[in-house]
Amino acid sequence: MWIHSHVGILSSKSPDELRLLMSDPVSAAVAVGWAMKAAGWVASPIISELYKKASSVLNLDASGKHKELEPKILLLQRVMEVVEESPYRPCLEQLFSDLKSAFYEAEDILDDVEYYRLEKQIQDDYLKLEVATPRRNKNRVKKLLKSAVKKCNALKDEQCGMSKIELKQSLEKIEKVINDACGFFEQMNFTNKSNTNLTKPANSRGAVTTARPPSVVIGRDKDCDNIVAMLHDKEEGAQPDTKSVQCYSVIGIHGIGGSGKSTLSQLVCAREQKDGHFNLVMWVHVSQDFSVDTIFGQMSEAASRTPCPQFNNLDTLQTNLEKVLHGKRFLLVLDDVWYNNRDVRQYEKLQQILSPLNAGEAGSKILVTSRTKDALIALGAAEQRCIPMSVLGEDVLLKLFKHYAFHNVCVAADDRIRLEDIATQIAKKLKGSPLVAKIVGGQLRMRPNIDYWRISRDGNHLDDTMGALWWSYQHLDEQVRQCFAYCSIFPRRRQLEQHELVKLWAAEGFARSSDEGKDSEDVCQGYFDVLVSASFLQHGVGKYSSKTDAYIVHDLLLDLADKVAGSDCFRIENRWKRSGDSWTMEGCEDEVPPDIRHVFVQTYGSELINEKICKLDNLRTLIIDSAEGRTPVEEKVLKSLFVRLRKLRVLT
């Protein structure tokens, strides 16, 4: 078995060799990228959804099978996260590949089953109409229906329409891969190693934030000024004893993970503590699974600067907080609020933490930071007071990056000049992210070596700085993750229209809803709204947009999408060239991966389609960019596509 063969190879290595393998930073970076695509894919409910679909064909107990496999799939996900830098990773790569192949095979069989169901429905309708149609119209209808049935029959060959037995075998293959994996994990004692992770969700929160600003903040003065002005706005509010009107208003900051929301709010806090406009300035970090009594306690301690007394019930704790806030104009920062608009209980908890705040003085303010605008609105922020994080300009980001890369670094003057030149080039790769600038700059500062910096500039190991974005991605629903990963098929900075994405996702079968009667495009529209709210899709502005309905994927987020999509998506941009009797990519000798399923072709060419695309037996999506290639696709090329690409779902 493949598992034991890999284990045998690895077990022959000495402990020192294994430690060296695990300590290699480039290998670690690649491992993180692999873990992103593996854990992200396994975490999705596509396997249970597949069993649900198959149950209608094979009379399976889908719910029972889901209960049986769910803990095993969860273990598989956890172990992949824990051993992402382990020497056992080759085993898991093969496992991941086998599992994915088995799933797609079963899904393709279901497509064939659905095709034959529709064909039979057409034939049955033909027979019914033949009986019911008046004689004068019968010949015409008969001719049309025969033509339709003939076209359906022309689409199939001896390889189409796998039997129910083969579908069952394919599902058994999936189950076997999962069971073999769990057996392997037990044999290698991975279950104990991942036990800590199993006690908490995979998407557990990061470090708790504080009100203390970082040592340096660059490029946020204007944003800080704007927010302070909004905080000082005079609004009509009630006096403390008036319960019908709130004494506070809400302002929110939203943006992707690592964009600087907490830093900006810390800067605002520091300024307000000096200015004295508010009697109290409180900072509370809101965890994902927060408890109301904990939040009340943190508010009380932040307001009184003394430990919160221990109370036996929530009502007493709330009363104590109201006494502390009574008659005082306060600024409360609720940092890193997470909100799922489908979670009614979470909404109720958010409203509950607001309940004692009306004891304050009129003119009080709440400043909320979140990855999603939905969280701000749920807490009462008006649309015009939901502030998106601005992207740092190139010059500002370079200044920030150099601060972290050169702080207290002592090198020769000539070396300093060369390092600064390399730093300028590296900063351009950081795509406007202050978090990445800080992390990469700090790593380089520890090794102010010209060769090392050059390797960093030219290599791909900067990929391990995407942890914040990966964290945000993990908190999306599984179906939304799949839609986001699909965006990796498009080139950078491409304007994506809302209706285009929604239709593509629906055609791919990404829509999954408990409401059987809900239209698939309506479901996918909901996924789109979530991605926009979470800033994974950003409204095109300025030079990136000429359409009012256009959205773009930030460069750093597209890098993340590329990783989580793995080998499913492939872009053929304007880099293909003819070389002898074969097509190659400039600067790349690799062929198009044979197991690819979604392809974007920027510039159309019939030879490219015939020699490259038509060989992709598993292809489901082919998008030929009409904006770049004005040449129409010839009829013979279309016929070739339909004949050879049996699994194609989208052609545009």
Considering the domain architecture, whether residues 360 and 380 belong to the same structural domain is answered as yes
The upper half-sphere exposure of residue 170, i.e. CA atoms within 13 Å in the direction of its Cβ, equals 22
* Domain end call among 198, 232, 263: 198
Do both 577 and 621 map to the same domain?
yes
> What is the reported pLDDT for 107?
72
Residue 216 maps to a domain: no
Q: Which residue has the higher pLDDT, 88 or 33?
A: 88
Per-residue pLDDT of 205-239, as tens digits, reads 444 555 545 567 888 999 999 999 999 987 544 44
Q: What is the CA radius of gyration of the chain?
A: 29
Q: Decide if 560 is inside a domain.
A: no
Query: Does residue 194 share a domain with residue 98?
Result: yes
CA–CA separation, 27 and 25 (whole Å): 5
Position 46: which residue type? I
Rounded CA-CA distance 320/307 in Å is 12
Residue 158 has pLDDT above 60, yes or no: no
Reported as a single tens digit per residue, the pLDDT across 438-448 is: 878 877 887 88
The answer to whether residue 578 scores a pLDDT higher than 50 is no
Residue 190 and residue 257 in one domain: no
- Residue 78's pLDDT band, with cuts at 50, 70 and 90, is low
498-501, long-range: CB < 8 A, 24+ apart: 498/528, 498/549, 498/551, 499/549, 501/528, 501/551
Q: Is 424 part of a structural domain of the chain? A: yes
Q: In terms of pLDDT, which residue wins out, 576 or 116?
A: 116
Tell me what pLDDT residue 170 has. Answer: 73
Could you tell me if residue 30 is inside a domain?
Answer: yes
Long-range Cβ pairs for the range 628-634 (8 Å, 24+): 628/574, 628/602, 628/603, 628/604, 629/601, 629/602, 629/603, 629/604, 629/605, 631/604, 633/604, 633/606, 633/609, 634/606
Q: CA 178, 76, 43 angle in degrees (round to 5)?
A: 105
* pLDDT band with cut points at 50, 70 and 90 for residue 560: confident
Residue 46 has a pLDDT of 60
Mean pLDDT, residues 278-300 taken together: 86
212 domain-assigned: no
**In this structure, are residues 150 and 158 in contact, taking their beta carbons and an 8 Å threshold?**
no
| pLDDT at 76 (0 to 100) | 65
Q: What is the pTM of this model?
A: 0.59
Q: Token pair for residue 324?
A: 């502390």
Alpha helices in 219-355 (DSSP H): 221-231, 261-275, 292-304, 314-325, 344-354
pLDDT in tens, 444-461: 887 888 998 998 888 765
- Judgement on whether residues 377 and 400 belong to the same structural domain of the protein: no
Q: Is 419 in the same domain as 543?
A: no
CA distances to 10, 187, 293 from 87, in Å = 7, 15, 44
Same domain, 417 and 301: no
Which residues span the domain enclosing 407? 394-469
Under the banding of pLDDT at 50, 70 and 90, the label for residue 169 is confident
DSSP state of 463: G
Give yes or no: residues 233 and 278 share one domain.
yes
In a domain, 561, yes or no: no
Same domain, 113 and 254: no
Angle ∠(248,319,334) on CA atoms, nearest 5:
40
CB atoms within 10 A of CB 23: 10
Residue 215 lies in a domain: no
**What letter would DSSP give residue 212?**
S
- Considering the chain, what is the average pLDDT of its residues? 73
Cα(581)–Cα(224) distance, rounded to whole angstroms? 60
pLDDT on residue 19: 34
Confidence check: pLDDT of 341 > 90 = no
Q: pLDDT for 507-540, tens place per residue?
A: 888 887 665 678 889 999 999 988 887 778 877 6
- Highest mean pLDDT among 75-89, 149-163, 174-188, 204-218 belongs to 174-188
> Has residue 350 got a pLDDT over 80?
yes
Domains in the chain, number: 5
Angle at 475 between CA 473 and CA 479, to 5 degrees: 75
pLDDT score of 628 more than 60? no
Last residue of a domain, one of 554, 589, 616: 554
pLDDT band at 356 (very low <50, low <70, confident <90, very high): very high
Residue 208 in any domain: the answer is no
Q: Are residues 53 and 180 in the same domain?
A: yes
Which one is predicted more confidently, 179 or 582?
179
Separation of alpha carbons 453 and 411, rounded Å: 14
**CATH code assigned at 353:** 3.40.50.300
Bridging pattern class, strands 364-370 and 248-254: parallel
User: Does one domain contain both 71 and 175?
Assistant: yes
- pLDDT bin (cut points 50, 70, 90) of residue 311 is confident
CB 555, CB 431: distance < 8 Å: yes
Average pLDDT of the residues in 184-203: 53
**Same domain? 370 vs 282:** yes
Decide which of 337, 364, 388 is a domain's last residue: 388
